[in-house]
Structure 1
Amino acid sequence: MSTPALAPEPVTSRDTADDETHVVCCNREVALCGTDVADLPWVGDEEEATCVVCRDLEGQPCPRCGL
């Protein structure tokens, strides 16, 4: 996937039981998998997403913006 300005970025949640790392794109409040990540802390780009749905969708165009 190319790296446009709104490329997916990882976020992590300390509030979930499994402590998954998710990926967001143009809507930084909702992960690609649909998880609400609005109040969660950001992690560095070197972190890999642990959410299997986000990982599968990360290589696909964003359903919202198409990037």
Structure 2
Amino acid sequence: MVGAKRFLQLANRLPAYQGVIANAMAAEQNAEEAAPGGSPGQPEEVSIDAMNLMIPGLIERVEV
């Protein structure tokens, strides 16, 4: 249970929190729209050579 004083302190901060959340959501939406190609949320395709450069030895460890 929250006392009246604490409740009013939290209520006073609410507009600031809402502004931060709104800005974060707008930034995320802009980042998705600016993403090159493909649909948002889908991983980019990477060549096998690029994967091998990022994580050396990965291809040799994978069994097909």
Larger helix fraction of residues: 2
- What is the TM-score with the length of structure 2 in the denominator? 0.20
Larger strand fraction of residues: 1
- What is the TM-score with the length of structure 1 in the denominator? 0.19
Higher relative contact order (CA 8 A, sep 6+): 1
